[in-house]
Structure 1
């Protein structure tokens, strides 16, 4: 049975990743800050150990290290760094600098910490994949508007982290990619979103399944289209 670990599973894309993977026969370690309040996530649990909920604040190094030890003997075929926040939307002249630090902590530093914690679990799998959920808003080449400085910059930095990780983990046999889920109808995506979570996640999981060595360190849309940095 293949095994996945997903962060930010209480709602949105994280919940949908957990739902689809458990439905496909995967063992899923579903992480969120307050699993006891994640009722939708709890409803996915078939009671046979295929869905295991874990308390994890991705910015808490002690919690993260503890989970790494708890799963010490378990290989991971797929690690999805999904947890993220948008932060205040203020642009030039209205920057909330303290909030900017928090957005970076969640969106950029935490995925690196998670990857370092579970690298040894990934290398135990025969065909391990690590997906960092990024955003097209983090593409410098594709940026034609301003605004959302906090979120955009954190995802641009995550893309660089992804590229570095692809080099760090290459000898361990782990394929690493940054992925753009699209404008998805979640709490973060808002009312104008045009892509259903189930469609985005289905595309991302299909992409994860076909990633090869030539794709290592790439940046892709949910339909597999390569995106500019």
Structure 2
């Protein structure tokens, strides 16, 4: 069975992706900060023997290294860096909360690279794929409204990280892409999102199923359209 490792799997897009890949016959290593509070994820275990749930705070790099060592014999065909953090709303120029900005950058930019580093041996063994959930808000060209300094900067930086990953991992035939999942009705996206999590997840999976080596290093939305940097 092909193997997926996904972060932030306890709710929203991460949970929808977990459900979709399980239904498609994949084995899934689903990671979240507090499995004891992840009722919807744990509920899936009884009907899905290919699902394993692990505790992982993506900014706990010692814990990340320990998990990678525990799974060192596990081939990983697809790594989805899904865990993310928007930060406080209504942040105004002139009053940027520095600790929150550092937290947003830590979770959205640094952690996906560290997770990828930790599981590189397993990805090299399968010539796998790294997919990082980004946002159109990380597109500099598409920024027509300003604001959202914390989140925009973290996703723009993640996009830059992915471009370097794609180049550096090409000798290992590992593909790396960033994906805008759409404006989704989740805790982060809010109740006015244009699509639900199942629609986003299906689009993301369809994109990843069709991914070619020539697509590595690019920025796509969940409908498979390439986005501007």
TM range (shorter): over 0.9
CA distance in 2 between counterparts of 1:152 and 1:98 reads 16
2:113 aligned with 1:109, yes or no? no
Scaled by the length of structure 1, the TM-score of the pair is: 0.97
3-state DSSP of counterpart to 2:185? coil
Scaled by the length of structure 2, the TM-score of the pair is: 0.97
Determine the structure 2 residue equivalent to 1:123: 124
2:56 aligned with 1:56, yes or no? yes
| Within-5 A mapping of 1:29-178 | 29-46=29-46, 49-89=49-89, 90-126=91-127, 128-178=128-178
CA distance in 2 between counterparts of 1:3 and 1:117 reads 16
Residues 22, 48 of structure 2: 8 Å contact kept: no
CA distance in 2 between counterparts of 1:119 and 1:209 reads 20
Q: Which structure 2 segments of 5+ residues have no match? A: none
Q: Once structures 1 and 2 are overlaid, which stretch shifts more, 87-96 or 6-15?
A: 87-96
Q: CA 1:9/1:173 → structure 2, altered by over 3 Å: closer, same or farther? A: same
Runs of 4+ in 1 over 2 A off after TM superposition: 46-49
CA distance in 2 between counterparts of 1:55 and 1:181 reads 24
What's the CA shift for 1:94?
2.5
Show CA shifts across 1:106-141 (max 9, x none). Answer: 000000000100111111115x11100000000001
Q: Which structure 1 segments of 5+ residues have no match? A: none
Root-mean-square deviation (CA), in Å?
Answer: 1.0
CA distance in 2 between counterparts of 1:212 and 1:48 reads 29
Q: For this pair of structures, how many residues does the alignment match?
A: 228
